[in-house]
Amino acid sequence: MAMTMTSSPRAPVQSLYVHVPFCAQKCEYCAFFSEASSGELIHRYVDALVAELELVAAELRPKTIFFGGGTPSLLNLRQWEKILRTLDRLGLLGAEEFTVECNPATVSLDKAKLLRAMGVNRISMGVQSLDEALLDRLGRVHSRAMVFQSFDVLRQAGFDNVNLDLMFAIPGQTLAAWRATLADAIAMGSEHLSSYEVIYEEDTPLFAQLHAGEFDVDEDLACAMYDELLERATAAGFQQYEIANFAKDTNAIHPPSAGRPPSRACRHNLSYWRGADFHGLGPSATGYVRGVRTKNWSNTQLYCEQLEKGKRAIESREELSPLARAGETAAFGLRTTAGWPFEEFRQTTGHDLREQWLADMTKCVQLGWGQLAKDSFRLTRHGLRFADAAAELFLR
Ligand code: SF4
């Protein structure tokens, strides 16, 4: 049976994701597990999270930590202090990369300074658009002005690694409006940019509006916007390293080399795309540790109740076969511009892409999606647009 490099029973898990399931209000397009919530439930959640961290700490030595949501920046100073002190007490601070997602409406200098002082060294800010009308259309709680203010506050607090998250193909968005948002966002001078096309998830207001015929989806316009993103981001010194992710390379000691992601690439996300183990804490969070995928309850009350009883709040566990896991790992890695060097894939999964997946790689090449070299396989620029369809081919 194939053994994976990441499945050693003794190796501590090096990536930690924490889900904070609260938002000031629910955005029109959002299908993440999050809720507009009262102070009481947030307080209870923080205590439950502390208990969950205590339960998994012995298995963790995080090199990357990512607090996502929801809106982690909605937690107040005292709640953040409690969480960060717990991480400190449990020996979990000191990660090479520690990211917190922020909404521009909930960034204050005090909070930003506390996060920075306690080891948070990367902020991902959910901007989505710099057009007031489109921010309204999306149901975002922040204004354009708040984005600029919050960015300044983050810089003042000492953050030199900031991601701006943008969205395109928003209903009603013209190409000119997208160009203006891109130009303004790039001019802010962040180290990282991520940008996703709007997706219509069931059970969201935007999905209901689409199905009620309130607007149409214009695929050609969405493609033109993606092309614009690639061109403008690249011209501004960003390197694309994944379908929707762009980073600057600010490492003067090790200049860019083929296959190495830019220095400001998100290491946490790269570890997912490279098939590494990770713990996921908080309501609805998924984790993958030593071949077992877990998912926590997507219900904050239930999550808290379980942890108050001293138990993990796991709703489901699924053990994947080594081949199924390798197929997933192959599929995730195809999202990156580097694709998979065969040797790295073999070391990660114990399987050889050239044996189990030769027909699938050949099919991708025939479709113009893939590029097969002597020592690696990757999707072409054109193929990255079809990464989901390509990924399906590699699942086992
Ligand atoms: S802020 Fe983010 S997580 Fe919260 S509702 Fe909006 S998109 Fe969803």
Residue 129 has pLDDT above 90, yes or no: yes
Residue 4 has pLDDT above 60, yes or no: no
Residue 253 has pLDDT above 70, yes or no: no
200-220 per-position pLDDT tens digit:
988 899 999 999 999 999 999
Dmax over CA atoms of the chain, in Å, equals: 58
Q: Would you say residue 281 lies in a domain?
A: no
Ligand 1 near 27 CB (within 6 A): yes
Answer yes or no: do 178 and 88 share one domain. yes
Residue 1 has pLDDT above 50, yes or no: no
Angle, in degrees to the nearest 10, between helices 144-156 and 109-117? 40
Q: Determine which of 112-121, 215-224, 256-265, 278-287 has the lowest per-residue pLDDT on average.
A: 256-265
Nearest CA to ligand 1 atom 6: 27
Instruction: Taking residues 156-167, report their average pLDDT.
Output: 98
CATH of the domain at 383: 1.10.10.920
Answer yes or no: do 265 and 363 share one domain. no
Residue 71 CA, ligand 1 centroid: distance in Å: 7
Ligand 1 near 103 CB (within 6 A): yes
Answer yes or no: do 135 and 220 share one domain. yes
pLDDT at 39: 87
Residue 209 CA, ligand 1 centroid: distance in Å: 18
279-320 per-position pLDDT tens digit:
999 999 999 999 899 999 999 999 999 999 999 999 999 999
Residue 3 has pLDDT above 60, yes or no: no
Nearest CA to ligand 1 atom 8: 30
Q: Would you say residue 316 lies in a domain?
A: no
The atom of ligand 1 lying closest to the CA of 30 is: 8
pLDDT at 260: 84
Ligand 1 near 386 CB (within 6 A): no
Q: Which of 212, 238, 273 lies at the terminal end of a domain, its last residue?
A: 273
Answer yes or no: do 139 and 197 share one domain. yes
Q: Would you say residue 117 lies in a domain?
A: yes
Question: Within a 10 A sphere around the Cβ of 76, how many other Cβ atoms?
Answer: 16
pLDDT at 38: 77
Answer yes or no: do 264 and 338 share one domain. no
Ligand 1 near 61 CB (within 6 A): no
Angle at CA 350, nearest 5°, toward 97 and 392? 80
Q: Using a CB cutoff of 8 Å and minimum separation of 24, what contacts does 259-262 make?
A: 259/338, 259/341, 259/376, 261/336, 261/338, 262/238
Answer yes or no: do 85 and 185 share one domain. yes
Residue 276 has pLDDT above 70, yes or no: yes
Residue 166 structural domain: 10-273
Nearest CA to ligand 1 atom 2: 70
What confidence category does residue 264 fall into, taking pLDDT thresholds of 50, 70 and 90? very high
Instruction: Taking residues 160-183, report their average pLDDT.
Output: 97
Answer yes or no: do 357 and 210 share one domain. no
Q: Is the pTM of this model over 0.75?
A: yes
Answer yes or no: do 342 and 268 share one domain. no
Ligand 1 near 207 CB (within 6 A): no
Ligand 1 near 370 CB (within 6 A): no
Answer yes or no: do 151 and 29 share one domain. yes
* 60: its two tokens: 């963790």
Residue 239 has pLDDT above 60, yes or no: yes
Answer yes or no: do 209 and 330 share one domain. no
Q: Would you say residue 241 lies in a domain?
A: yes
CATH of the domain at 67: 3.20.20.70
Ligand 1 near 69 CB (within 6 A): yes
Ligand 1 near 26 CB (within 6 A): yes
User: Which residue did the predictor score with more confidence, 260 or 174?
Assistant: 174
Q: Which of 255, 273, 291 lies at the terminal end of a domain, its last residue?
A: 273
Q: Would you say residue 283 lies in a domain?
A: no
Residue 334 CA, ligand 1 centroid: distance in Å: 27
64-101 per-position pLDDT tens digit:
999 999 999 999 999 999 999 999 999 999 999 999 99
C-alpha closest to that of 6 among 288, 233, 320: 288
Residue 187 has pLDDT above 60, yes or no: yes
Ligand 1 near 126 CB (within 6 A): yes
Q: Which of 18, 20, 30 to mutate to test the pocket of ligand 1 (most atoms within 8 A of CB)?
A: 30
Q: Would you say residue 309 lies in a domain?
A: no
Can you tell me the distance from the alpha carbon of 391 to that of 131, in angstroms, rounded to the nearest whole number? 34
Q: Would you say residue 14 lies in a domain?
A: yes
Answer yes or no: do 85 and 169 share one domain. yes
Nearest CA to ligand 1 atom 7: 30
Residue 6 has pLDDT above 50, yes or no: no
Angle at CA 154, nearest 5°, toward 149 and 155? 100
Answer yes or no: do 78 and 198 share one domain. yes
43-62 per-position pLDDT tens digit:
999 999 999 999 999 999 99
Nearest CA to ligand 1 atom 3: 70
Beta strands at 162-168 and 122-128: parallel, antiparallel or unpaired: parallel
Residue 8 has pLDDT above 60, yes or no: no
Residue 55 CA, ligand 1 centroid: distance in Å: 28
pLDDT mean across residues, the chain: 93
Domain count, the chain: 2
Q: Would you say residue 108 lies in a domain?
A: yes
